[in-house]
Amino acid sequence: MRGQAGSEALVIVHSWHHGNTRKVAEALARILGAEVRTPDRVDPATLGEYDLVGFGAGIDSGRHYRPILDLADRLPPGGGRRVFLFSTCGVPAAFARGEAFDRLVEANHAELRARLADRGYAIAGEFSCVGFNTNSFLKHFGGLNKGRPDAADLARAEDFARGLLAAPRGERLEPSRTTR
Ligand SMILES: Cc1cc2nc3c(=O)[nH]c(=O)nc-3n(C[C@H](O)[C@H](O)[C@H](O)COP(=O)(O)O)c2cc1C
């Protein structure tokens, strides 16, 4: 689909726990004028048709969900094509601020970032926010981060997408512009 800057964008997301990351994907796609697809609906050979591709998922065991990591392994050489990463994670919202959160996101995204970079894709930016988490024992206490991502999280995701559209080709957005 044709985005605001006249480029073709695609947002790929795997989201199953509560649909948290799907909400972020849709907010990003609204701004980018992009289609949202799940990894099983993506033919890696066709990614060359897009100027910008986003890869996102919830976080499990400190990394993106497996279907997104597996997709990254099947991609053709990137040749410097612009991509971005996004996620939602289940840490308590009180810890999802400032540099501590930036460091956490840096770690959560490391595996997917490395796989994309190894294939020659240029990381244009990364976004993350917290999401409702009822994993394991948390379900017995009503879960963590109920209602997240909320309207403010999605507004930040939209700002991030605007930043991607505005960034000169090749520029990587700073963490402070991407994660909160
Ligand atoms: C099996 C499982 C493992 C998880 N592991 C982590 C983790 O290592 N770190 C974290 O911050 N959140 C973790 N979470 C929380 C999810 O990443 C979080 O709830 C996310 O928003 C779910 O996204 P989704 O609704 O798009 O699937 C885990 C959740 C599940 C169900």
Q: State the pLDDT confidence band at 176, using cuts at 50, 70 and 90.
A: very low
CA of 5 to the centre of ligand 1 (A): 33
Atom 4 of ligand 1: nearest residue by CA position:
60
CA of 48 to the centre of ligand 1 (A): 30
Q: Measured from the CA of 132, which atom of ligand 1 is nearest?
A: 19
Least Cα distance to 130 among 87, 174, 99 occurs for 87
Task: Please spell the DSSP secondary structure of the chain, one letter per residue.
Answer: -B-TTS-BEEEEEE--SSSHHHHHHHHHHHHHT-EEE-GGG--GGGGGG-SEEEEEEEEETTEE-HHHHHHHHTPPP-TT-EEEEEEEE-S-GGG-SHHHHHHHHHHHTHHHHHHHHHTT-EEEEEEEEE--B-TGGGGGGT-BSTT-S-HHHHHHHHHHHHHHHHSPTTPPPPHHHH--
- pLDDT digits 0-9 by tens, 29-63: 999 999 999 999 999 999 989 999 999 999 999 99
CATH 3.40.50.360 fits 9-178, yes or no: yes
Q: State the pLDDT confidence band at 178, using cuts at 50, 70 and 90.
A: low
- pLDDT digits 0-9 by tens, 121-143: 999 999 999 999 999 888 878 88
The two three-digit tokens of residue 8, written as one number: 């073709």
Would the pTM count as exceeding 0.85?
Answer: yes
In the chain, where the domains are located:
9-178
